[in-house]
Amino acid sequence: MSAADTLADQYAAALAQRGVVLRDDFIEGARALEDVLDPADLERWASVAADLAAQSLRSWEAAQEFFKASPQVATVLPFELLMRWARVAEHLCESSPLIAAAYIRATPAALEQIPPDPDFDIGIQGEFLTEQTISKTDLDRWAEAGERLHQGNWKSIALSVLFFELSPKLLASLSMEQIDDLIDVLVILAERSYQLAQTCLEAAPDLFAALDFNDREPFLQFAAALSRASWADTRLYFERGPDLVVRIEAEQRGAFLTLASRVVQSSGRQGFPHFMETANALGMIPPSEHAALLGLAGTLARRSPVAAMAFLRSAPIVLQRITADQLAQWVEPGSRLLFDDGNIEGADAYFQLQSTRAEQTLTSLSARVELQAIHGLLRMYAKALTGASIAIRSSEDLVEKGIGWVTESMATTEGTAIFLPPFVGVYPEQQSNFQCYKVFTTHQTGRIEFGSFGYRYGIEGAYAPVSVTEREAALAPRERDALTEMERYYDLFPQRTLIASLFTIAEDTRVDAQVSREYGGIRVWLRRLQSREADRRPDVMDQGLRNAFVENLLRASLGRRDAIRWPAPLMPTLETALSALAVVEQPGATVEDAAEVAAALYDIASILPNTRRNYDDEEWEQPPADMGSEGQMPSGMGQDQREMPEGEGDEEFEAPQQPEFRGDFKPELVQLLSRLRDQQAGDDGEGMSLSREQVMDMLEKSSEVSLSEQAQGEVAASMGAFLTNLEKEAQAAAQAQKKKQQQQDGEGDADDGEENNADLPNEVTWSYYDEWDFRASDYRPRWCRVGERLGDEGTLEYYQDTLQRHHGLVVETRRQFELMRPESFRRIKKLEDGEELDLDRAIEFIVDKRAGVGPLAQIYWRRNKVERDVAVAFLMDMSASTDEEVEKPRVNERPDGNFTGDPRNYFQWLAERRSRLIAEAPKRIVDLEKESLVLIVEALEAIGDSYGIYGFSGYGRDNVEYHVIKDLGEKFGDKVRRRIDKIQPIRSTRMGPAIRHTIAKLEEYDAKVKILILVSDGRPQDHGYGRDRTEKEYAVHDTHQALVEAKRAGIMPFLITVDKEGHDYMKEMCSDVGYEVVDDIEQLPRRLTSLYKVIAAD
Q: x/- string (CB under 8 A) for another protein, residues 329-368?
A: ----------------------------------------
Instruction: Tell which one of 520, 682, 687, 748 touches another protein (CB under 8 A).
Output: 520
Q: Which residue from 581, 576, 573 is spatially nearest to 645, judged by alpha carbons?
A: 573
Q: Given the complex with another protein, which of 717 and 842 has the nearer CB atom?
A: 842
Q: Is 679 in contact with 690 (CB distance < 8 Å)?
A: yes
Give the DSSP letter string of 197-256.
HHHHHHHHHHHHHHS-HHHHHHHHHHHHHHHHH-GGGHHHHHHHHHHHHTTS-GGGHHHH
**Nearest distance from residue 385's CB to another protein, in Å?**
6
Question: C-beta of 689: minimal distance to another protein in Å?
Answer: 33
Instruction: State how far the alpha carbon of 1073 is from the alpha carbons of 65, 1033, 1039, in Å.
Output: 83, 18, 11
Query: Count of residues binding another protein (CB under 8 A)?
Result: 29
The strand order across the sheet containing 870-877 reads 765-773, 778-790, 960-966, 946-954, 870-877, 1009-1016, 1051-1057, 1074-1077
Nearer to another protein by Cβ, of 752 and 835: the residue is 835
Query: For another protein, which is the closer residue by CB, 152 or 521?
Result: 521
Taking the alpha carbons at both ends of the chain, their separation in whole angstroms is: 124
Spatial distance between the Cα atoms of 720 and 882, rounded to a whole number of angstroms: 50
CB of residue 611 to another protein, shortest distance in Å: 44
* N residues, the chain: 1098
Residue 582 to residue 576: CA distance in whole angstroms: 10
Least separation in angstroms between CB 821 and another protein: 17
Q: How far is CA 1071 from CA 291, 594, 1066, in A?
A: 48, 69, 8
Beta bridge partners of 370: 423
Nearer to another protein, 263 or 378 (CB): 378
Of the candidates 80, 131, 89, the residue with the CA atom closest to the CA atom of residue 107:
89
Give the nearest distance from C-beta 681 to another protein in angstroms: 21
Among 284, 475, 524, 688, binds another protein (CB under 8 A): 524
Min CB(748)–another protein separation in Å: 12
> Angle CA(1009)–CA(1011)–CA(1015) in degrees, nearest 5?
165
Contact region with another protein (CB under 8 A), list: 413-421, 518-526, 567-575, 1020-1028: 518-526
Among 52, 110, 522, 873, the residue binding another protein under the rule CB under 8 A is 522
Nearest to 202 by CA among 239, 255, 246, 244: 239
Judged by CB, which is closer to another protein: 438, or 1037? 438
DSSP string of 626-692, one letter each residue: TTT-S--PPSSSS---------SSPPPP-PPPPPTTT----HHHHHHHHHHHHHHHT--TTS-PPPH
> What is the C-alpha to C-alpha distance for residues 314 and 347, in angstroms, rounded to an integer?
13
CB of 828 to another protein, least distance (A): 13
Q: Which of 122, 717, 837, 910 binds another protein (CB under 8 A)?
A: 837
The HSE-up count of residue 81 (CA atoms within 13 Å, CB side) is 22
Dist. CA 1092–CA 871, nearest whole Å: 12
Contacts of 748 (CB under 8 A, 6+ apart): none
Out of 339, 519, 620, 909, the residue judged to bind another protein by CB under 8 A: 519
Q: Which is nearer to another protein, 271 or 834 (CB)?
A: 834
- Residue 1092 CB, shortest distance to another protein, in Å, is 25
| Minimum CB distance to another protein, residue 519 (Å) | 4
For the segment 846-885, give every residue that binds another protein (CB under 8 A): 846, 857, 859, 863, 865
Binding to another protein (CB under 8 A) within 429-458 occurs at 438, 442
* Contact of 159 with 197, CB cutoff 8 Å: yes
For position 597 contacting another protein by CB under 8 A, the verdict is: no
Instruction: Kindly state the smallest distance separating residue 863's Cβ from another protein, in Å.
Output: 8
Q: Closer to another protein at the Cβ: 317 or 843? A: 843
CA atoms within 13 A of residue 27's CA, in its CB half-sphere: 16
Q: Which is nearer to another protein, 655 or 857 (CB)?
A: 857
Name the β-bridge partners of 392: 418
Binding of residue 514 to another protein (CB under 8 A): no
Quick one: which segment of 25-33, 316-324, 564-572, 832-840 binds another protein (CB under 8 A)? 832-840
Q: How many CB atoms lie within 10 A of CB 251?
A: 12
Residue 525 CB, shortest distance to another protein, in Å, is: 9
Own/partner long-range contacts of 717-723 (Cβ < 8 Å, ≥24 apart): 720/696, 721/402, 722/402, 722/403, 722/404, 723/692, 723/695, 723/696, 723/699
> Are 330 and 362 in contact, with CB atoms under 8 Å apart?
yes
Cβ distance to another protein smaller for residue 861 or 909: 861
Minimum distance, C-beta of residue 865 to another protein, in the bound complex (Å): 8
Query: Residue 416 CB, nearest distance to another protein (Å)?
Result: 15
Residue with Cβ nearer another protein (1003 or 1080):
1003
CB of 380 to another protein, least distance (A): 4
Q: Are 10 and 39 in contact (CB under 8 A)?
A: no
**Nearest distance, CB of residue 1081 and another protein, angstroms:** 40
Taking the C-alpha atoms of residue 986 and residue 189, their distance in angstroms, rounded to an integer, is: 43
> Using CB under 8 A, which of the segments 37-45, 407-415, 515-523, 902-910 binds another protein?
515-523
Which of 400, 535, 836, 1098 is the binder for another protein (CB under 8 A)?
Answer: 836
Bridge-based pairing of strands 1051-1057 and 1009-1016 is parallel
Of the pair 152, 520, the CB lying nearest another protein is at 520
Closest CB 1008 distance from another protein, rounded Å: 13
Window of 5-13, 192-200, 321-329, 514-522 that interacts with another protein by CB under 8 A: 514-522
Q: Which of 518, 651, 654, 884 binds another protein (CB under 8 A)?
A: 518
Q: How far apart are CA 738 and CA 1093, in angstroms?
A: 42
Query: Which one of residues 210, 475, 842, 910 is an interface residue with another protein (CB under 8 A)?
Result: 842
- Residues between 369 and 428 with contacts to another protein, criterion CB under 8 A: 376-378, 380-381, 383-387, 389
Cβ of residue 387: shortest distance to another protein, in angstroms?
4
For another protein, give the closer residue by CB, 519 or 955.
519
**Nearer CB in complex with another protein: 47/389:** 389
Under 8 Å CB-to-CB from 308, ≥6 apart: which residues? 259, 263, 297, 298, 299, 300, 301, 351
DSSP assignment of 419-447 equals EE-SEE-SSSSHHHHHHHHHHHHHHHHHH
Nearer to another protein, 383 or 1032 (CB): 383
Closer to another protein by Cβ: residue 91 or 383: 383
Q: Which residue, 751 or 835, has its beta carbon nearer to another protein? A: 835
Of the pair 480, 849, the CB lying nearest another protein is at: 849
- Give backbone dihedrals phi and psi of 885, rounded to 5 degrees, phi first: -80, 140
Q: Check: CB of residue 45 under 8 Å from CB of residue 33.
A: yes
> How many CA atoms lie less than 13 Å away from 584 in the CB half-sphere?
34
Q: How far is the CB of 454 from another protein (least distance, A)?
A: 18
**Contacting another protein (CB under 8 A), which of 251, 630, 797, 835?**
835
Does residue number 523 form part of the binding site for another protein (CB under 8 A)?
yes
| Closer residue to another protein, CB minimum distance, 863 or 1060 | 863
Interface residue list for another protein (CB under 8 A): 376-378, 380-381, 383-387, 389, 438, 442, 518-524, 835-837, 842, 846, 857, 859, 863, 865
